Amino acid sequence: MAEMLVSVSLCVAASLIICIVHLVQKWRNPKCSTGRLPPGSMGLPLIGETLQFFSPHYSFDIPPFLKERIKRYGSLFKTNLVGRPVIVSTDSEFNHYILQQEGKLVELWYMDSFMKLLGDQVLTTSASLSIHKHLRNLVLSYFGPESLKKMVPEVAEMARQTLHFWSTQEAIEVKKSTEDMFFDFGSRKLFSFDLSNSTENIIKNKFADFWEGLISFPLNIPGTTFYKCLKARENVLKMLRNLIKERRNQPKRIKGDFLDKLIEEMEKEGAFLTEEAIVQLIFLLTFASFETTSLTLTLAIKFLTDHPQVLMALTDEHEAILRSRETADSAITWEEYKSMTFTSQVINEVLRLSNVAPGIFRRALTDIQVKGYTIPAGWTIMICPQTLHFDPSKYKDPLAYNPWRWEGCGANTWSKNFNPFGGGMRLCAGADFSKMLMEMFLHFLVTKYRWKRIKGGEIVGNPATSFPNGFHIQVSEKK
């Protein structure tokens, strides 16, 4: 009897081992029915190569995760991230092509953590291309060039007040302080945010918790970053829903903000916008209006601190603007803003080096043939802007911070060789708004103030760029 039990146990164990080996082999060697997959590794079962992808790196160079695989496999390789099969592309021609194929060969896609945190609504799916186009036009009607002209005095006042406050402090942490500034301004334009309102101030604090979970492993267990961010999102959405209900119950809406415009659009006959879609859109725009812009401006101030010759050239441009006025203290104008050529180059170079978003994601709607390989339908395609932005054939000495490389490129430099704001029909509608906020702020910073580094400033990518120790400076008025 004992011998029989041992034999049965051995048979069961052997069967389990065979099954596990089979499943591991199947995981590591996925099949493609219409061709062959690009080379690469799927990593460990379930987690793939997620741990390697999130490994921190301490320079602006291409992350080791990408650099090692490009060297081994070439510009196109397969992997698995947070449980999803992914084709990573660092090929500039293919990337440009894919960004033009939304609704045809690919659809907008995010990793699972993105989809759960951003909301799997019509706002983020490719089934809604016509809706997306309409929403994009709505955003541009409020944050496009004509509207930006009218915002110049408000942006100038934002910069003046912020910098005056900074100059009264012994030190400020730049990322947090610029985050506060852009959140206050952006949310005021979006839904008339009031800093003195305690409920709306909670929204601001919850948004601060949100960013960490966007590219985390989607493990919804108490104590994890993802769980904390999901809870933060739920709280923000609840507050926004209450805000919209209050606004709709008002007999006359006179705020004049973007929320009023959306509610007006929703109440038109045959409108596609729902109250929940407005909640999701306001949530996304509020987040986009401060997080990436504050990081880019923080990096700009860091680069100016580290490169005095760039700071000198930037200061010369803005002091020339002051000298050209009939009255030195007159208000800044739209024409003066549009004349800030070198300032635009400074921001472009920051955007090239920073790569705030580690990837642009699409999902294949059908099998896609490229360079003798097949990307199967349903697989995620990850486009990597940083490999393009550090390509020595496109940018001489790519690791150097050199704003002069943009001379002669003009204000609109977005192309297949430079896509910090995405590409194709999903090119960020708020790109001009973000650039104006940053460039106008730099105008007042370099003409009215000086600063020195107090501590911090070290940069880590894991994979998004961050300041683990902050970046602390002391600001003082120029005499």
pLDDT digits (tens, 9 = 90+) for 423-468: 666 777 788 899 999 999 999 999 999 999 999 999 888 777 888 8
Tell me the pTM.
0.87
- pLDDT band (50, 70, 90) for residue 219: confident
Question: Average per-residue pLDDT in the chain?
Answer: 83
Beta strands in 82-228 (DSSP E): 84-89, 106-108, 172-173
Query: Which comes out higher in pLDDT, residue 376 or 427?
Result: 376
Helix axes 145-167, 129-143, angle to 10 degrees: 60
Whole-angstrom distance, CA of residue 255 vs CA of residue 417: 41
| Predicted pLDDT at 440 | 96
Indicate if the pLDDT at residue 271 is higher than 60.
yes
Binding residues: 428
Contact (CB, 8 A) for 386 and 359? no
Indicate if the pLDDT at residue 3 is higher than 70.
no
| Predicted pLDDT at 314 | 97
The single-letter DSSP state of residue 144 is S
| Predicted pLDDT at 22 | 45
Least confident residue range of 334-338, 379-383, 407-411, 446-450? 407-411
Residues 6+ apart with CB under 8 A from 46: 83
Tokens of 229: 């961010």
| Predicted pLDDT at 239 | 84
Please give the angle made by the CA atoms of 225, 231 and 232, to the nearest 5 degrees. Answer: 85
At 102, phi and psi to the nearest 5? -65, 135
pLDDT digits (tens, 9 = 90+) for 84-130: 899 999 998 898 899 888 888 998 877 666 666 666 554 454 445 66
CATH fold for the domain made of 32-477: Cytochrome p450 (1.10.630)
Binding residues for heme: 428
